[in-house]
A and B are shown apart, each in its own frame.
Chain A
Amino acid sequence: MAKSDLTILVIDENAIRASIIEEGLNEAGHSNVTVIHEVNGVARIIETQQPDVIIIDIENPNRDMMEHLFQLTRTVSRPIAMFVDRSDTALIESAMEAGVSAYVVDGLKKERVKSILDMAVSRFNAFSRLQQELAEARSALEERKVVERAKGILMKMRGLSEEEAFALLRQTAMNEKKKMAEIAQSLVTAAGLLM
């Protein structure tokens, strides 16, 4: 990948997501990337670095502060919100859905900026997927734990083997049309009350 001379500023309160984006930008040949996690002092950074592209999380309420900065600082020459090409509605929609917003210095060739935005969008999406997977993995782990506990209670109180306890839980879940983890949770709660 050819080296890029574009200066890029990433503002993201989520440090992990920010580093994922930074990595992606570096891989794409952008070496002038600055990442900040809060907007304090952003005015000075913009003034000294004069970024060509600023990427900011769309849920960050400080976007309004950026608008104010652009009114004041003459150093940032006419940045435009988000979008390289207003007719590229697919990019605009995917960016908004992913939660990316960006400011781009006017006059920059759109092909150059489009690849940066595409990258930011895909990294934002990848991060959301990662979070989703993590949450699912966590809840799966929790479910396994509660089933183990329920099994233990059944084995102890009814003298069942591990297989029998598991089969009983599964059969009950099927009969009641519930998830096994739910049955297990009720059992653990009930046992807690009774013992």
Chain B
Amino acid sequence: MMKRTDRAGNDLGAPATIGAPEQKILRAGFIPLVDASVLIAAAEFGFARKEGLALEMVKDVSWANIRDRLAFRQFDIAHMLSPMPVASMLGLGSNPSPTITPFSLGRGGNAITLSLRLFERMLEVGHLAETASALENARALASLLKVMREQGEAVPRLGVTYPFSSHNYEFRYWLAAGGIDPDRDVKLVVVPPSMTSDALAAGAIDGFCVGAPWNMVASERGVGRIVAAKQDIWPSAPEKVVAMRPEWAASHSDTVSRLIVALDAAARWCDTPENHDGLSEALADSRYIAAPIGIIRQVLAGEFSLDAKGNRRLIPDYFTFNRRFANYPKPGHALWIYSQMIRWGQTTYNEEGLLAAASAYRPDLYKAALGSAPTGQDITVEGNLEGDRFMDGHVFDPAAIPDYIATLGTGAAS
């Protein structure tokens, strides 16, 4: 067990505990998104250096590259979608190589945007108010899809970012909650995050679910309307994580602890509104997200332009980088991801799968580094507390996954 009491000073080489740090320079792969903030802040604002580490940030173009470059040791750590380590432990995907996460990069950040073409027809057909809730929006889309089917129109194409992504499961959750079968009533396609706004403008897709700042980019451009935020679907829904190879983590336990301490400090810093100007400036840089600083600043504040007409919405905690143990890798969340993989036919339910999925999340490493953890069990019923409900009111019981999936259904109308 590691306890760091002497973290004072920027003493680069001197280890805080017995035993030299195993590795000082860590190559970290990332995709340009606001939810990479904690990693970027750790690299840019001295939090890694304070722990005797240097983060060499490497921007990449696809999640498949991130996965492969981590697997083949070109990266030591990586910014990853939380379902990716779970998929890798379950042996899913085209290069499943063991991957774990000891640290979550926070909550929030995603949203669902539909094209204005589609949304305006929803207003008409679904008798929707401009201030409708996420669930009302989903139901209005269901009504519109019915009309489109009757008129023999093509089904809308909706973009997600990766088959094993929070976006895929959140989009599907939202659609199904509204009574839409994501595999029959619409066509889900994959679009790289930075291309979503252009693809929507060009009519190549009719909507997407993606992380910040890309929803805001589309709404500000006047090509899309934000119809749901991640918070509407499930406030605690897992998002991005810091991933690593389990064998690397085992042979670099001191480095992993230092990294977690650095990330924890960086996450705390990112959560402080006074630091958002500095953070926005760093994120907007071409080495990182290369997006307009004004939009990033707005996204961090949770000030949402729903469309270009001036409809706005304030979402408190649109990003939670640290508060309420947002960085704790709760194995119960890995099991929720597993349940959604089963729900949509990516895998099947069994005892081995349950263990494999939970093993992707490593709270033991988090606790070893920080010595703290949320009260309560690692695997608990989710969505049963006020302020943390699922949009359709269902409750996730990890002890009864098959029942949960049966109750949820797939959105197919009876």
The residues of A with any CB-CB pair to B shorter than 8 Å are 58-68, 70-71, 79-83, 89, 92-93, 96, 101, 103
- Residues of A contacting B61 with CB < 8 Å? 59-61, 63
Instruction: Give A177 to B258 CA distance when docked, in angstroms.
Output: 47
- Residues of A contacting B67 with CB < 8 Å? 81
Instruction: Give A66 to B192 CA distance when docked, in angstroms.
Output: 11
- Residues of B contacting A60 with CB < 8 Å? 61-62
Find residues 341-387 in chain B having any chain A CB closer than 8 Å to their own CB: 346
* Cross-chain contact B74 with A81 (CB below 8 angstroms): no
Q: Does B65 contact A (CB under 8 A)?
A: yes
Which of chain B's residues has its CB closest to A59's CB?
B61
Contacting A67 at CB < 8 Å: which of B94, B189, B191?
A: B94
Contacting B163 at CB < 8 Å: which of A71, A80, A82?
A: A71
* Cross-chain contact B190 with A67 (CB below 8 angstroms): yes
Enumerate 20 A-B pairs (CB-CB under 8 Å) in ascending A order. Answer: A60-B61, A61-B61, A61-B194, A61-B195, A62-B192, A63-B62, A64-B62, A65-B191, A65-B192, A66-B64, A67-B93, A67-B94, A68-B163, A68-B190, A70-B94, A80-B94, A81-B67, A81-B94, A82-B95, A96-B72
Contacting A68 at CB < 8 Å: which of B65, B162, B194?
A: B162
Q: Does B63 contact A (CB under 8 A)?
A: yes
- Residues of B contacting A68 with CB < 8 Å? 160, 162-163, 189-190
Nearest-neighbour CB distance to chain B for A74, whole angstroms, equals 11
- Residues of B contacting A59 with CB < 8 Å? 61
- Residues of B contacting A83 with CB < 8 Å? 72, 95
* Cross-chain contact A64 with B63 (CB below 8 angstroms): yes
Nearest-neighbour CB distance to chain B for A47, whole angstroms, equals 15
A65 touching B189 in the complex, CB below 8 Å, given contacts A82-B68, A89-B72, A96-B72? yes
Which of chain A's residues has its CB closest to B63's CB?
A64
Which of chain B's residues has its CB closest to A40's CB?
B204
Instruction: Give A169 to B195 CA distance when docked, in angstroms.
Output: 50
Instruction: Give A81 to B68 CA distance when docked, in angstroms.
Output: 8
| Total interface residues in chain B, CB < 8 Å | 24
- Residues of A contacting B346 with CB < 8 Å? 71
If A71-B93, A92-B72 are given as contacts, then 15 extra A-B residue pairs at C-beta distance below 8 Å, sorted by A number, are: A58-B65, A61-B61, A61-B195, A63-B61, A63-B62, A64-B192, A67-B63, A67-B64, A68-B160, A68-B162, A68-B190, A71-B346, A81-B94, A83-B95, A89-B72
Which of chain B's residues has its CB closest to A95's CB?
B72
- Residues of B contacting A71 with CB < 8 Å? 93, 163, 346
- Residues of A contacting B191 with CB < 8 Å? 65
- Residues of B contacting A58 with CB < 8 Å? 65
Nearest-neighbour CB distance to chain A for B90, whole angstroms, equals 13
Which of chain A's residues has its CB closest to B67's CB?
A81
- Residues of A contacting B194 with CB < 8 Å? 61
A63 touching B64 in the complex, CB below 8 Å, given contacts A68-B163, A96-B72, A96-B74? yes
- Residues of A contacting B189 with CB < 8 Å? 65, 68
- Residues of A contacting B63 with CB < 8 Å? 64, 67
Instruction: Give A96 to B72 CA distance when docked, in angstroms.
Output: 9
Which of chain B's residues has its CB closest to A65's CB?
B190
Which of chain A's residues has its CB closest to B97's CB?
A86
Find residues 43-96 in chain B having any chain A CB closer than 8 Å to their own CB: 61-65, 67-69, 72, 74, 93-95
Contacting B64 at CB < 8 Å: which of A64, A89, A92, A93?
A: A64
Nearest-neighbour CB distance to chain B for A35, whole angstroms, equals 21
Nearest-neighbour CB distance to chain B for A69, whole angstroms, equals 8
Instruction: Give A76 to B95 CA distance when docked, in angstroms.
Output: 15
Instruction: Give A58 to B68 CA distance when docked, in angstroms.
Output: 10
Contacting A64 at CB < 8 Å: which of B69, B72, B74, B161?
A: B161
- Residues of B contacting A67 with CB < 8 Å? 63-64, 93-94, 162-163, 190
* Cross-chain contact A101 with B94 (CB below 8 angstroms): no
Instruction: Give A92 to B71 CA distance when docked, in angstroms.
Output: 11
Nearest-neighbour CB distance to chain B for A14, whole angstroms, equals 15
Instruction: Give A80 to B64 CA distance when docked, in angstroms.
Output: 12
- Residues of A contacting B93 with CB < 8 Å? 67, 71
Find residues 161-211 in chain B having any chain A CB closer than 8 Å to their own CB: 161-163, 189-192, 194-195
- Residues of B contacting A82 with CB < 8 Å? 68, 95
Nearest-neighbour CB distance to chain B for A80, whole angstroms, equals 6
Nearest-neighbour CB distance to chain B for A62, whole angstroms, equals 7
Which of chain A's residues has its CB closest to B161's CB?
A64
As a 0/1 sequence over residues 236 to 268 of chain B, the CB contacts with chain A under 8 angstroms (1 = contact) are: 000000000000000000000000000000000
Q: List the 6 closest pairs (A to B, CB-CB), nearest first.
A: A81-B95, A61-B192, A68-B190, A63-B64, A65-B190, A61-B61
Which of chain A's residues has its CB closest to B68's CB?
A81
Instruction: Give A58 to B67 CA distance when docked, in angstroms.
Output: 12
Which of chain B's residues has its CB closest to A78's CB?
B94
* Cross-chain contact B69 with A96 (CB below 8 angstroms): yes
- Residues of B contacting A79 with CB < 8 Å? 94
Which of chain B's residues has its CB closest to A96's CB?
B74
Nearest-neighbour CB distance to chain A for B289, whole angstroms, equals 15
Q: From B64, B68, B189, B346, name the one whose CB has the most chain A CB atoms within 10 angstroms.
A: B64
Nearest-neighbour CB distance to chain B for A175, whole angstroms, equals 38
Nearest-neighbour CB distance to chain A for B331, whole angstroms, equals 25
Find residues 90-106 in chain B having any chain A CB closer than 8 Å to their own CB: 93-95
Q: From A62, A80, A89, name the one whose CB has the most chain B CB atoms within 10 angstroms.
A: A62
